[in-house]
Amino acid sequence: MTPPPGSGETPGREAVPPGEDPNPQRGVSGPPSDVPTVALVGNPNVGKSSLFTALAGIPTRVGNYPGVTVERKVGRFTHGGRSLDLVDLPGVYGLVPRSPDEQVAVDALTGRLADMPAVACAVVVADATNLERNLYLASQVLGLGVPVVIALTQSDVAAAQGIAIDTFRLAERLGCPVIPVVAPARRGTEQLATQIVAAIGAPPPPAPRGLAEMEADAGTHHSPAAREAIARYAWIERQLDGVITRRTVPGTRFAERIDALLTHRVWGTLAFAATMLAMFSSIFWLAAPLMDLLEGAVGWVADLARHWLPDGPIESLVVDGVLAGVGSVVVFVPQIALLFAFVALLEGCGYMARAAFLMDRLLAGVGLSGRSFIPLRSSCACAIHGIMATRTIENPRDRLLTIMLAPLMSCSARLPVYLLFCGAFVPDRPVGLPWLRLPALVLVGLYGLGVAVAAALAWVLSRTVIGRSRQPFVMELPRWRWPRWDVVVGRVTEAAGSFLQNAGTLIVAVSVIIWALASSPHSDAAIDAEVAAERLELERRAGAAADPGPPAAELARLDTPAGAAAARRGAAQRQSFLGRAGRWIEPLVRPLGWDWRIGCAVLASFPAREVVLGTLGVIYNVGDEDPLAADGSLAARLRAATWDGTDRPVFTLPVALSIMVFFALCAQCASTLVVIGKETHSWIWPLVSFTSMTALAWVAAWITHALASRLVGG
Amino acid sequence: MGPLDQVSVGDSPRARAAMPLGSLDQVPIGDSTRVASLDGDDPTTCRLLELGLTPGVRVRVVRRAPLGDPLELELRGYRLSIRRTDARRVAVTAAPASPR
């Protein structure tokens, strides 16, 4: 099993002078370009991304390779007056194509990708702390007949671990430059760029010699794949003989002891729990003041806008559309920055791999690996954080599955919804134990529901759309080391920057669209008519009902200025496109026990779940009071709400339960859907996520309503 | 597949490699062993081979995760974690006591 064709002999290439297209006739290349393409290829987690950033800065283009969800990062840099296109190929262990990412790497290196020019130079990124295994891929790339430069990352860490590498000798043996780099500190990157420019157009290095003999030597009782691996590793051992020297450095035993402690059955589990607790509580506590500050700043700008802009649609667009959208974006930035600081610290010191090692067993049952634990746990704060944290999962299939499950974890935006309905409609009585009360039990049940449905969905998805993992779970456990602050800062700024840049623009756009649907058409005459009709209806009920108390109180509220304004806002929203859509979907929400107003509130909460509180408030004509205020005004109003033209209350226990179950499972969060789209570089996955979650939510809410009605009576 | 302690030390390396004596998931924690064979051309086998788990290589089983799975291995100067189901397909012999 030798790597794909093109090995060694490409006649006439030596004669191409620099400056001309060095690959005039190789394969099906894309549109001719005078800018040569340089590809970074290497094992997963060897520091390809930070080398990419060190060479080319922020990528000019991030997307997918055609037909597959494999990320493609393209950037451009100039060195010595020469422009070069840099492509980051997916991390692979070998060039025998078995998975989409391996296929992409092989096709790119052999010039068979339709929309990418043939590679003029392959930069093999190899981890100096683990050179033997990293050279396996290098041995395959060296056989492709492409100019090769080897970049040795982590060379400072290797030196600290007592690993000395004679790079000159290695370069001489391999026939290609070997450059030690420390990418985050930009050490060695200039030299690397110089060697890349020199390699373009130069003769490619010789293919590894003697592989065939070594394969024959391996013995016929092994399979061809095993013989190839034996031969390549034998070749590598020969190249490295006398090149690598290891000496024991002080601290090795200490690191060994830390390792034993942190993976210990009791202490390791405790340390893991403590780390997670510290990480996730600080994401809330440390970020809270910053979030308040940002919210305050957005509110201040909104006040300014209200002051300076004339009343009317423009003011509403700026304040309720754009600024509300911007506010919902920037408020996430402190939490994202903190989470990524933690992730970078844990990854930088080597704990991330240990955490995955500890948790793997738990997640293996649903077709995931330990790598998914932190992203899924982060999603309990907010799915956006969790989905962004999936960047640490190297296997694209596991990453996609984790992204699809993340929105099912009960995030903090669901909590206000749960609190409102649990507090207002679930009877507060002990269940078995005196301190265990029913609302708390329902709350725990809702969190559990999310986890259970996620597990079931993982089971289904890994047998249908996403497919089972065809690759075994393998993970390198790096040695303990100090995290680099520049890497941490880099990760944080990259995560926050890409969130603001990519997701931010779209989230604001979606918010503006929802605002437009909720605020137009706007006709004062129609609103006046509706408010008048409402007053008549209340008067009729106050006259007809045995107890005129509630309708009379409503009438009194309509006469206060706040009550009148709220009534007008409610009427306007009901008449908007969104309100009409709410009425239009009423047959759909009827089986859940909802009236059209709940349907409308749920529709309007598409930008974010917690919005439903405000929308319910507006639709049921509550004033501007805080919906969760101590006097429970929203709760009281909801209890008083009746079906149109009757005295039958809308909100009963079964209805409250069905709303909560719906919110536990639905995808009512535009930001999450936008981030899913951005992280998978595809609009299909957000669509799959939205439809599957909405369907699940509907079915579960329907079952809940039916069961609860039967048990307690609707 | 017999238990690991049936290894006869006097065999030639070739003969030892040809005689699998157990699988990697049965090796006691802390012990070293040598891969005897790892055959097949399925993705799992190929990946393990690429990672350096080739016939003849010396492997130490460092530890098992608290929940029993996966395993932590040391080979070719690095630490690798694989699951027990994947370790099961790696046939091993006992390794000589001296480190490579």
Q: Does the pLDDT of residue A626 top 60, yes or no?
A: no
More confident residue, A114 or A173: A173
Question: Which stretches of A247-332 are DSSP H helices?
Answer: 252-262, 267-285, 287-308, 313-316, 324-330
Q: Are the C-beta atoms of residues B60 and A146 closer than 8 Å to each other? A: no
- A668 vs B96, higher pLDDT: A668
- The CB-based long-range contact list for A65-72 (8 Å cut-off, 24+ gap) reads A65/A104, A65/A113, A66/A113, A66/A114, A66/A115, A68/A100, A68/A101, A68/A103, A68/A104, A69/A100, A69/A396, A69/A400, A69/A680, A69/A681, A69/A682, A69/A685, A70/A100, A70/A101, A70/A104, A70/A396, A71/A396, A71/A681, A72/A104
A154 and chain B in contact, CB less than 8 A:
no
pLDDT at A569 over 80: no
Say which residues have a Cβ less than 8 Å from residue A710's Cβ, sequence separation at least 6: none
What pLDDT is attached to residue B74? 95
What average pLDDT does range A9-23 have in this prediction? 38
The full DSSP string for B41-66 is -SHHHHHHHHTT--TT-EEEEEEE-T
pLDDT digits (tens, 9 = 90+) for A524-543: 888 888 888 878 877 877 77
Shortest Cα distance from B48 to chain A (angstroms)? 8
Can you list the alpha helix ranges (DSSP code H) found in A350-437? Answer: 351-364, 373-378, 383-389, 396-405, 414-425
Q: Does A3 have pLDDT greater than 60?
A: no
Between CA A578 and CA A457 the distance in angstroms is: 31
Fold of the domain built from segment(s) B12-94: SH3 type barrels. (2.30.30)
Q: Are A670 and A608 in contact (CB under 8 A)?
A: yes
With a cut of 60, say whether residue A575 has pLDDT above it. yes
Tokens of A300: 């201040």
Residue among B79, B80, B86, B90 with most chain A CBs within 10 A, to mutate: B79
Q: Measured over all CA atoms, what is the biggest interatomic distance in chain B, rounded to whole angstroms? A: 38
| pLDDT the model gives residue A407 | 93
The band of A23, judged by pLDDT with boundaries at 50, 70 and 90, is very low
Q: What share of chain A in percent tops pLDDT 90?
A: 25
**Which residues of chain B fall below pLDDT 70?**
1-20, 94-100
Look up residue B4 and give its DSSP letter: G
Q: What would the pLDDT profile of A190-242 be if each residue is shown by its tens digit? A: 999 999 999 998 999 999 988 888 888 887 788 888 999 999 999 999 999 99
Cis peptide upstream of residue B70 (ω within 30 degrees of 0): yes
pLDDT at position A547 is: 65
Q: How far apart are CA A700 and CA A433, in angstroms?
A: 28
Q: Which among A218, A265, A476 has CB closest to B66?
A: A265
Quick check: A477 contacting B, CB < 8 Å?
A: yes
Measured between beta carbons, which residues in chain B are less than 8 angstroms from residue A265?
A: 66
Candidates A98, A263, A362; nearest CB to B43: A98
- pLDDT band at residue A625 under the 50/70/90 scheme: very low
B88 touches chain A (CB under 8 A): no
Cβ contact, residue pair B57, A233, below 8 Å: yes
Contact B77 A357 (CB under 8 A): no
Q: Compute chain A's Rg from CA coordinates.
A: 31
Considering only residues 389 to 448 of chain A, which have any Cβ-Cβ distance to chain B shorter than 8 Å?
A: none
- Output b/e per residue, A479-498; b: 16+ Cβ within 10 A: bbbebbeebbebbbebbbeb
Contact A574, A586 (CB under 8 A): no
**DSSP code for A3:** P
pTM (whole model) above 0.95: no
- CB burial of A9-20 (b: ≥16 within 10 Å; e: otherwise) equals ebeebeebeeee
Predicted pLDDT of residue A621: 57
Angle between helices A561-575 and A611-619 (to 10 degrees): 110
> Can you tell me the distance from the alpha carbon of A219 to that of A212, in angstroms, rounded to the nearest whole number?
12
Cα–Cα distance for residue pair A290/A37, rounded to 1 Å? 43
pLDDT at position A350 is: 86
Please state, in angstroms and rounded to a whole number, the distance separating the CA atoms of residues A505 and A570: 29
Check residue A163 and give its pLDDT: 92
A258-272, A364-378, A397-411, range with the lowest pLDDT? A364-378
CB-based contact, B19 to chain A, within 8 Å: no
Q: Has residue A24 got a pLDDT over 60?
A: no
Given a cut of 70, whether residue A545 has pLDDT beyond it is: no
Higher pLDDT, A425 or A573: A425
Whether chain B has a CB inside 8 Å of the CB on A261: the answer is no
| pLDDT on residue A633 | 59
Closest chain B C-alpha to A365 CA, distance in angstroms: 11
* Helix %, strand %, coil % of chain A (to 5): 60, 10, 30
Contact B55 A233 (CB under 8 A): no
**Paired tokens of A541:** 């009920």
- What is the pLDDT at residue A284? 67
B29 interfaces chain A, CB cutoff of 8 Å: no
Considering only A303-312, A616-625, B41-50, B66-75, which range has the smallest mean pLDDT? Answer: A616-625
Question: Residue A36: its pLDDT value, please?
Answer: 93
Set of chain B residues whose Cβ sits within 8 Å of the Cβ of A268: 66
- The residue whose two tokens read 């907010």 is A382
What mean pLDDT value characterizes chain A?
Answer: 82
A116 or B97, greater pLDDT: A116
Question: pLDDT tier at A12 (50, 70, 90 boundaries)?
Answer: very low
Buried b / exposed e over A21-39, threshold 16 CB at 10 Å, is: bbbeebeebeeeeeebbbb
Rounded to an integer, what distance in angstroms lies between the CA atom of residue A211 and that of residue A214?
5
Cα separation, A610 vs A672, in Å, equals: 13
- Confidence band (pLDDT; 50, 70, 90) for A548? low
Residue A519: φ, ψ to 5°: -120, 5
Query: What is the pLDDT at residue A440?
Result: 81
Quick one: pLDDT band at residue A690, thresholds 50, 70, 90? very high
- Does the distance separating the beta carbons of B40 and A472 come in below 8 Å? no
pLDDT tier for residue A644 given thresholds of 50, 70 and 90: low
Domain residue limits, chain B? 12-94
Alpha carbons A267 and A357: distance in angstroms, whole number: 14
Cα torsion through A566, A568, A574, A576, rounded to 10: -120
Element (H, E) at A163: strand A163-165
3-class secondary structure, A318: helix
- Kindly state the average pLDDT of the residues A466-478: 78
Task: Give the dihedral sign, CA A647/A648/A653/A656.
Answer: negative
**pLDDT band with cut points at 50, 70 and 90 for residue A713:** low
For chain A, say whether B81 makes contact (Cβ under 8 Å). yes
- Which of A557-566, A578-587, A629-638, A695-704: highest mean pLDDT? A695-704
Q: pLDDT tens, A328-345?
A: 678 778 887 888 898 889
- Beta bridge partners, A126, equal A152
* Backbone phi, psi, residue B79, to 5°: -105, 130
| Mean local confidence (pLDDT), A131-155 | 94
- Interface check A586 vs B, CB under 8 A: no
ipTM: 0.81
Predicted confidence (pLDDT) per residue in A64-113, tens digit: 777 676 778 899 999 988 999 999 998 889 998 877 778 889 999 988 88
When pLDDT is averaged across residues A291-299 and rounded to a whole number, the result is: 86
Residue pLDDT, tens place only, A150-195: 999 988 889 988 999 999 999 999 999 999 999 888 899 999 999 9
Check if B83 contacts A (Cβ < 8 Å).
yes
Of A711, A599, A630, A610, residue with least CA distance to A670: A610
Set out the domains of chain A in order of their start, with CATH numbers.
33-208 (3.40.50.300), 508-712 (no CATH)
Please report, for residues A40, A104, A586, the alpha-carbon distance to residue A396 in angstroms, rounded to integers and kept in the order given. 18, 13, 40
